[in-house]
């Protein structure tokens, strides 16, 4: 039996989170989706700290969708910490942001992002992107083995 892949969506914007969750529903992706509403919450989740210590309830994600522009610990810092942590550095991180700035793209890839997507303006565009992300990262892509 194939495991249902889980996704950690990291975004502080409530409307964008709702849009993403609706888009996953419209794309009929049955993945488990966890939401972290800040960079700190994402790090707590990934490192199993505080309320996220129980890995049965909060399993490691198979894919991280990460917004960049967040107050406090931003997406760039979250990305750096993920890619420098031996236990989680192989989890694919897809930047999903409203920023189309070249500098943000460059820094994201320099820090180890696996992909960079600019959030579409329309809901139908968002559904299409989410469906393609699911098809590629959770179906077609053969993930890296876990770090020992």
Write out the two tokens for 30.
């049955």
Query: For the whole model, what pTM was predicted?
Result: 0.90
| 124-to-19, 20, 62, 128 alpha-carbon distances in Å | 10, 11, 25, 6
Q: State pLDDT tens for residues 32-44.
A: 899 999 999 999 9
CA–CA gap between residue 64 and residue 62 (Å, rounded): 7
| pLDDT attached to residue 123 | 77
The count of C-alpha atoms lying within 13 angstroms of the C-alpha of 23, restricted to the half-sphere facing its C-beta, is 23
Rg (CA), the chain: 14
Dihedral in degrees, nearest 10, Cα atoms 53, 58, 63, 66: -70
| pLDDT attached to residue 75 | 97
Kindly tell me if the per-residue pLDDT of 1 is higher than 70.
Answer: no
Kindly tell me if the per-residue pLDDT of 87 is higher than 70.
Answer: yes
Q: Name every residue whose Cβ is closer than 8 Å to that of residue 112 and which is 6 or more positions away in sequence.
A: 79, 80, 82, 83, 89, 93
Instruction: Show the domains of the chain with their CATH numbers.
Output: 6-139 (3.40.50.2300)
Average pLDDT, the chain: 88
């Amino acid at each position: 039996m194939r495991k249902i892949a889980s996704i950690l969506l990291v975004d502080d914007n409530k409307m964008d989170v709702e849009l993403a969750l609706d888009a996953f529903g419209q794309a009929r992706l049955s993945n488990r989706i966890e939401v972290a509403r800040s960079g700190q919450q994402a790090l707590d989740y990934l490192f199993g700290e505080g309320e996220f210590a129980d890995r049965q309830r909060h399993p490691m994600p198979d894919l991280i969708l990460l917004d960049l522009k967040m107050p406090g610990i931003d997406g760039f810092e979250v990305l750096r910490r993920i890619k420098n942590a031996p236990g989680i550095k192989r989890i694919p991180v897809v930047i999903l942001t409203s920023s189309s700035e070249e500098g943000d793209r460059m820094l994201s890839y320099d820090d180890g992002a696996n992909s960079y997507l600019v959030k579409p303006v329309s809901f139908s565009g968002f559904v299409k992107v989410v469906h393609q992300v699911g098809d590629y990262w959770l179906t077609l892509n053969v993930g890296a083995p876990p770090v020992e």
